[in-house]
Amino acid sequence: MSHPVSSWPARLWVLGIAGFGFLGMPQADSAPFKPVITRSVAANRIAEKPDYAHSLSAELSWLEFGLESRTRYEYRWNDYSTPGLITDDALVTRNLLYLAVKGPLDPLRLAVELQDSRRFLSDRVANPNLETGFEFLQAFAQLRFEDALDGQPLSLSFGRMVFDWADRRIIARNRNRNTLSAFDGFRLRLGDENAPWEIDAIAVRPVDRNVDDLDESTDNATLVGIAGYWRGWSPHLVLEPYWLWFEQDDNRLVPIQRDLHTFGLHAFGQWSEKSAWDYDLSLAGQWGETQGQAHRAWAAHAEVGRTFSSAWKPRLALWFNYASGDQDATDGRHERFDPLFGATYAFYGYSSYFAWQNMINPALRLSFAPAQNFRCEIMHRAFWLASDTDAWVRGLRRDRTGSGGDFIGQETDIRLVWQLGKNFDLDLAYSHFWPGGFVASTGAAPPGDFMQIAATLRF
């Protein structure tokens, strides 16, 4: 298979990321470092250990344990992601168990995470995004060397893994979805998420989710990449460059051929008194082949927010998402950006009608906390097609002539989260979609609604 991108840009990218970290390594006698995180919703990554896991006790600090059980009821009216705009409800459950051993066997560490995801009540066909039954979500061994390079740890992991990468728009550990995306292979990390700098390299195969059988590593797809994280300059600027190569051959289950190089940069920071202002930027470009056609595509996210000093700590943020679409289906070029294994729910709407592809999407978000254990957020989004001759992919609509216009519609999302105890929270979300002219010109166009109530228990 040909590789449209020559090897030297990739080599320069890799060397640049590596050099980026080494040039900025802190001195051994520097003060303890506390990294700045982005305030952009859902863009902070879970690098390795799940957020529900913890040391079992002070006496057993070498054993990490976590148990999370979520039960969610959801209802969809006029679901645009289904043929015929199905109205249906479902009760879905997701149970996760995490165990890791660190310390007694150093430098060898072991980790396993079990998942049980099921769906009830729904009349729809089986869906691996909602149900897979009992699975080994993670099972990996790791060699970890503390203070391997100027005080930074070095780790090499092998096995099945689940993780976030960069700002989660290309690879993500799914949070709201009832099943998670896993990968089999190798992962090398120099530094970690708490250090001024970090390098994260992967060589993995995606895991195919299977409703009726155990999940297995795909035999026709490979994912290779490297990301750098530089947090050491100041709270004003954090940089996260990355390169990712995804190769996939046609097979019976997934008749899609892809050979894609994705180059990206995520940057964020805070400024002003009490860091009242913040920003978050992402830019990604893709080169390669899709279905034998030359692939050229790009995508971007830009966000600026202000946090006010009142008791409720409100943050008002303005977003803009863009992802290119295919301009002409007959010209031998493929220009629709491919979001690969990225997250969508919080980024592009609770309805799950949209992903980072063929979109122009401004949005306004207000979040606030009326009480210490109570969080609220309200978002309003509008959507246009970046190319009016390409598809609204998740809405299953396309007008190849472009005569139907490009305005898909608007969506309002509301979310309330109560932390009712140390180990229990209740999450309510509602989404309403107003269809636009493009939807009306390509078929039935009633409003769409989504509602969910999720109760999560953690130990």
Whether the Cβ atoms of residue 338 and residue 258 lie closer than 8 Å to each other: yes
- Give the angle subtended at the CA of 264 by the CAs of 261 and 265, to the nearest 5°: 165
Among all chains, which residue has been given the structure tokens 């050229």? 296
pLDDT tens digits, one per residue of 96-126: 999 999 989 999 999 999 999 999 988 888 8
Furthest-apart CA pair in the chain: how many Å? 68
Band (pLDDT 50/70/90 cuts) for residue 13 is very low
270 domain residue, yes or no = yes
Query: How high is the pLDDT of residue 147?
Result: 86
42 domain residue, yes or no = no
Query: How high is the pLDDT of residue 123?
Result: 83
Averaged confidence pLDDT in the chain = 91
258 domain residue, yes or no = yes
- What CATH number should be reported for the domain holding residue 202? 2.40.160.100
pLDDT tens digits, one per residue of 48-95: 999 999 998 888 889 999 999 999 999 999 999 999 999 999 999 999
35 domain residue, yes or no = no
Q: Give CA–CA dist 372/388, Å, rounded.
A: 45
- Please indicate whether residue 43 or residue 149 has the higher confidence score (pLDDT): 43
Query: What's the sign of the alpha-carbon dihedral 134, 51, 167, 73?
Result: positive
The backbone torsions φ and ψ at residue 17, rounded to the nearest 5 degrees and listed phi first, read -65, -45
Three-class secondary structure of residue 13 per DSSP: helix
Mean pLDDT calculated for residue range 273-284? 95
Band (pLDDT 50/70/90 cuts) for residue 151 is confident
33 domain residue, yes or no = no
* Percent of all residues in the chain with a pLDDT value above 70, rounded to a whole number: 93
Task: For 389-428, give the DSSP string.
Answer: TSEETTTTEE-TTSTT-SEEEEEEEEEEEEEEETTEEEEE
Tell me how crowded residue 277 is: count the other CB atoms within 10 A of its CB.
15
Structural domains counted in the chain: 1
Q: Given a cut of 60, is residue 225 above it in pLDDT?
A: yes
Q: Given a cut of 70, is residue 5 above it in pLDDT?
A: no
User: What is the bridge-based pairing of β-strands 258-271 and 277-290?
Assistant: antiparallel
Residue 1, strand partner residues: none
Structural domain of residue 96, as residue ranges?
7-26+50-458
Query: How high is the pLDDT of residue 273?
Result: 87
1 domain residue, yes or no = no
Q: Given a cut of 80, is residue 12 above it in pLDDT?
A: no
41 domain residue, yes or no = no
Whether the Cβ atoms of residue 93 and residue 129 lie closer than 8 Å to each other: no
Least confident of 30-34, 314-318, 364-368: 30-34
Q: Given a cut of 60, is residue 30 above it in pLDDT?
A: no
406 domain residue, yes or no = yes
Q: How far is CA 139 from CA 97, 99, 311, 312, in A?
A: 12, 10, 44, 41
Query: How high is the pLDDT of residue 31?
Result: 65
Mean pLDDT calculated for residue range 129-140? 94
